């Protein structure tokens, strides 16, 4: 059986702290040749990125893919919007959810599945300050429990 090989390029660790994640979607991403080469070197940042519909298509904004070092002067724009590839039924479902109050699409991971660049999108709602405090409290309690188990 042929299994998919996944090579993770970058993660958005803040996403799980800043948002309550409802569901995850995998989308393809339209890239230029120099962008793919730069991604293979792991030179990308999705910390401030978000996805938005424009003209019936889904685009990823504020993703930074560094220019490829050996490309020369005709390299790509590092912060251009990049089109995302999803099935029509997924896009309709996402559009309906995004029209509800408070939902947003944020990238969680950028990776290669076999030879194709993919982005994992999370449909989430922004957390309030008290929700973030609760998350920190739970994390600290878990650390204390782990320390106590380790000392035994």
Give the architecture-level CATH label for domain 6-127: Beta Barrel (2.40)
pLDDT tens profile 72-115: 777 777 888 999 999 999 998 888 888 888 888 999 999 999 88
Give the C-alpha separation, 82 to 79, whole Å: 9
Give the global pTM: 0.77
Whole-number pLDDT of residue 3 = 60
Whole-number pLDDT of residue 121 = 92
Whole-number pLDDT of residue 71 = 73
Does pLDDT of 49 surpass 60? yes
End-to-end Cα, the chain, rounded Å = 43
Determine the average pLDDT of the residues in 21-49: 88
């Amino acid at each position: 059986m042929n299994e998919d090989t996944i090579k993770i390029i970058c993660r958005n660790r803040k996403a799980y702290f800043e948002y309550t994640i409802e569901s995850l979607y995998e989308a393809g991403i339209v890239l230029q040749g120099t962008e793919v080469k730069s991604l293979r070197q792991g030179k990308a940042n999705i910390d401030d990125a978000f996805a938005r519909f424009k003209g019936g298509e889904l685009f990823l904004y504020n993703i930074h893919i560094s220019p490829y070092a050996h490309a020369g002067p005709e390299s790509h724009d590092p912060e251009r919007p990049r089109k995302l590839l999803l099935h029509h039924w997924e896009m309709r479902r996402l559009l309906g959810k995004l029209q509800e109050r408070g939902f947003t699409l944020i990238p969680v991971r950028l990776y290669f599945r076999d030879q194709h660049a993919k982005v994992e999108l999370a449909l989430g709602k922004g957390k309030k300050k008290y929700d973030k405090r609760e998350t920190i409290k739970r994390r600290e309690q878990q650390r204390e429990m782990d320390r106590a188990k380790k000392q035994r």
